[in-house]
Structure 1
Amino acid sequence: MAFPNTVFVFTLFSFLSLLPSTESVLTPDYYSKTCPKFHDVLQTVLSGKQLSNPTTAAATLRLFFHDCFVNGCDASLLIASTAFNKSELDADSNMSVAGDGFDLITRVKTALELECPGIVSCSDILAVSARDLVVMVGGPFYEVPLGRKDSRESSPVNVDKSLPKALTPMNDLLALFASKGFSVEEMVALVGAHTIGFSHCKEFANRIFHFSKTSEVDPAYNPTYAQGLRKLCHNYTKDPAMSAFNDVYTPGKFDNMYYKNLQRGLGLLSSDQAMVTDPRTKPFVDRYAANQTEFFDMFGRSMLKLSLFMVKENNDGDVRRRCDQFNTIQI
């Protein structure tokens, strides 16, 4: 399988050599015998979806983050609520997760069930889809081990406190990532995913409307940029769908422009812009802004690490027949 625009390849084996010995069964060729066309089927669906809906890459990447940060990479976020069970989707933090990601996973799962029924987990589909879509829009390739099982639980409890938000103070952001085993350097690299996608106006409205008693807009913004955002979001309270690209220059390309934008006062969210002023994060912002290869290197390493976070294996979970439903009714 070819991955164009690849700058960095970090193998699973070199990563696992840094970790303590485990009984993990995850391996890149997990489906080589049980579903040999896994990657071919997935690539066909991904390519068609991304071409028809260019926001799919960003939506799927965000879906992956929101799933993994809450109890690990186990596809628990994909579960739809029922009369018997409220799922992670009911949490406030997940209300704005775009539907393109969910639609993609449903399409891939349907195609794979026709090819090799009951074999490929939804959590593996999500992990590989996020990686492949990053590559499709210009980002780095990194190896994704396979063999995850899907969670048998999904609850909105504790979701909101497990996910970073636009207004989360830097101390809390660093503590949140640290609690999941990520260093400051890894956090700054992972947040670089904002180089693609968009944010709704309500997420940064506090910075462009009535920011303080002395300034209508956040002075950390580039003034021209701030005025453009004010015009764009002027009616956001009546139209919650109003949004702006996270990266104003190359919104559809995975590159290091996000970090360069932060240096120019073009960071859309408060939590973004704070990284270029906080002395703990600024050195990494500057490093990734100056060297895209270093950004891709650390992003790939950090994504691989995230993809292994609290995964379910063996009998700890299921291979769901449908990604939005448990195999057995939850009562």
Structure 2
Amino acid sequence: MAFKNTNVIAIFVLVLAVFGTCSNAQSLKVGFYKKTCPNVEAIVKKSTDTIFTSAPTLAAPLLRMHFHDCFVRGCDGSVLLNATTNSTTQVEKDAIPNLSLRGFGSIDRIKSAVEKKCPGVVSCADILALVARDATAFLKGPTWKVRLGRRDGRVSNFSDALPNLPPPFFNITQLIASFASKGLSTKDLVVLSGSHTVGTSHCSSFSNRLYNFTGVGDSDPSLDSEYIPRLTRKCSPTDQTTLVEMDPGSFKTFDINYYTLVAKRRGLFTSDSTLLADSETRAYIRRHASSSGTSSFFKDFAASMIKMGNIEVLTGNDGEIRKRCAFVN
């Protein structure tokens, strides 16, 4: 059977990708380790509580790490792998979008705690999924039942990261396409973007919106003009190190204030402001910007996180259960 229309080919490939994602995900289930490691969630929770109590700013980065893992080769823990000492090949964590990731040592600590009780049983990919849930709850966000049973991938390629991780300068069309390629809907896009209510960003991720948006020394007209001076006081044009709160005033609390900021045209990234360019995402933003409660958003976020955690998972006999998260067995 020959396809002459490239659009048809693209749609066919997308359908196959989504079908593969869904079919593998059917093997994931709540209580997967009920017999082999019944206390795994309690072990992870105790470890994360200890880490977040001493380093609370790690909660948002560890939530982000799960996203970065799932969008590249699926939720297989490949973002955790180090390059081997006898190889010059770079891995995912060496790619530009992942250079700002933090918390790899924390995942190693949690994995060690799990290994002491249940050696060779629980995957690093499942630990990442559990940590993302516990990090969200620690930040006063929602919680959910995590479906487990993922296995760890053995491959991590530097070149896979950039094409698969949507950058902060993507417009709405590019974002929708990026999420659709992973089996996620437009609603999932705007819901998961709500995680920008916690954490910080380097100035370099958005400074072009302040100083040189179209290459002639101008600022982004979609960014609130009264907000720009507040950002320029913090970020010089060449600043590569300063961190700015994603959600000023409540960046340590998982709430709906992100949507209020975006509605006021104060989202830090182009990928935030462009959510106002689509009718579905714009309606969602406005609804929560004018809401006084979090229950609806929390319910949506939990559902979208479960869905994201299903992306291209390895199950059954695929992959392996790594003894150490940074190295294949």
TM-score (norm 2): 0.87
Judging changes above 3 Å, is the alpha-carbon distance between structure 1 residues 62 and 307 closer, same or farther for their aligned structure 2 residues?
same
Bigger drift between 195-204 and 285-294 goes to 285-294
8 Å contact kept, 2:25–2:310? no
Note the residue ranges of structure 2 that are not aligned, 5 or more in a row.
1-20
Shift of 1:265: 2.3
Say which of 127, 130, 137 aligns to 1:128.
130
Q: Which secondary structure does the structure 1 equivalent of 2:276 belong to?
A: coil
Aligned to 2:285: 285
Q: Which secondary structure does the structure 2 equivalent of 1:316 belong to?
A: coil
Say which of 54, 57, 60 aligns to 2:59.
57
Which residue identity lines up with residue 96 of structure 1 in the other structure?
A: S
8 Å contact kept, 1:24–1:313? no
Aligned to 1:46: 48
8 Å contact kept, 1:202–1:240? yes
Aligned to 2:243: 243
Which residue identity lines up with residue 77 of structure 2 in the other structure?
A: A
Question: How far does the alpha carbon of each residue in 1:201-226 deviate from its partner, in whole angstroms, 9 at most, with x for none?
Answer: 01111111144588743333333421
Aligned to 1:266: 266
8 Å contact kept, 1:249–1:257? no
Shift of 1:58: 0.9
8 Å contact kept, 1:287–1:294? no
Matched, 1:29 2:35: no
Judging changes above 3 Å, is the alpha-carbon distance between structure 1 residues 92 and 20 closer, same or farther for their aligned structure 2 residues?
closer
Shift of 1:279: 3.0
Question: How far does the alpha carbon of each residue in 1:276-327 deviate from its partner, in whole angstroms, 9 at most, with x for none?
Answer: 2433421121123234322112111111011111111121011100000000
Say which of 191, 194, 210 aligns to 1:192.
194
Structure 2 CA distance for aligned equivalents of residues 93 and 127 of structure 1:
20
Judging changes above 3 Å, is the alpha-carbon distance between structure 1 residues 205 and 20 closer, same or farther for their aligned structure 2 residues?
closer
Q: Which secondary structure does the structure 1 equivalent of 2:28 belong to?
A: coil
Aligned to 2:75: 73
Structure 1 CA distance for aligned equivalents of residues 217 and 25 of structure 2:
57
8 Å contact kept, 1:201–1:233? yes
Structure 1 CA distance for aligned equivalents of residues 115 and 214 of structure 2:
55
Judging changes above 3 Å, is the alpha-carbon distance between structure 1 residues 123 and 21 closer, same or farther for their aligned structure 2 residues?
closer
8 Å contact kept, 1:81–1:89? no
Which residue identity lines up with residue 248 of structure 2 in the other structure?
A: V
Task: Compute the RMSD of aligned alpha carbons.
Answer: 2.1
Shift of 1:231: 1.1
Structure 2 CA distance for aligned equivalents of residues 167 and 103 of structure 1:
29
8 Å contact kept, 2:25–2:313? no
Question: How far does the alpha carbon of each residue in 1:43-98 deviate from its partner, in whole angstroms, 9 at most, with x for none?
Answer: 1110111121122111011110010011110000000112324211122221222x
Matched, 1:92 2:96: yes
Question: How far does the alpha carbon of each residue in 1:149-174 deviate from its partner, in whole angstroms, 9 at most, with x for none?
Answer: 10011112232111111111221111
Q: Which secondary structure does the structure 1 equivalent of 2:105 belong to?
A: helix
Shift of 1:182: 1.4
Aligned to 2:15: none
Judging changes above 3 Å, is the alpha-carbon distance between structure 1 residues 110 and 220 closer, same or farther for their aligned structure 2 residues?
same
Which residue identity lines up with residue 306 of structure 1 in the other structure?
A: M
Shift of 1:113: 1.2
Which residue identity lines up with residue 283 of structure 2 in the other structure?
A: P
Structure 2 CA distance for aligned equivalents of residues 196 and 188 of structure 1:
15
8 Å contact kept, 1:164–1:176? yes
Structure 1 CA distance for aligned equivalents of residues 180 and 243 of structure 2:
30
Structure 1 CA distance for aligned equivalents of residues 28 and 260 of structure 2:
37
Q: Which secondary structure does the structure 1 equivalent of 2:146 belong to?
A: coil
Structure 1 CA distance for aligned equivalents of residues 39 and 146 of structure 2:
16
8 Å contact kept, 1:122–1:323? yes
Structure 2 CA distance for aligned equivalents of residues 111 and 273 of structure 1:
41
Which residue identity lines up with residue 231 of structure 1 in the other structure?
A: R
Aligned to 2:205: 203
Structure 2 CA distance for aligned equivalents of residues 73 and 111 of structure 1:
21
Note the residue ranges of structure 1 that are not aligned, 5 or more in a row.
1-18
Aligned to 2:257: 257
Residues 94-173 of structure 1 aligned to structure 2 (within 5 Å) = 94-97=98-101, 99-100=102-103, 102-173=104-175
TM-score (norm 1): 0.86
Question: How far does the alpha carbon of each residue in 1:203-253 deviate from its partner, in whole angstroms, 9 at most, with x for none?
Answer: 11111114458874333333342111111112x62x522121111131001
Judging changes above 3 Å, is the alpha-carbon distance between structure 1 residues 315 and 231 closer, same or farther for their aligned structure 2 residues?
same
Shift of 1:29: 1.1
Structure 2 CA distance for aligned equivalents of residues 290 and 107 of structure 1:
41
Structure 1 CA distance for aligned equivalents of residues 214 and 140 of structure 2:
39
Q: Which secondary structure does the structure 2 equivalent of 1:305 belong to?
A: helix
Judging changes above 3 Å, is the alpha-carbon distance between structure 1 residues 213 and 313 closer, same or farther for their aligned structure 2 residues?
closer
Say which of 309, 315, 325 aligns to 1:307.
309
Structure 1 CA distance for aligned equivalents of residues 184 and 287 of structure 2:
18
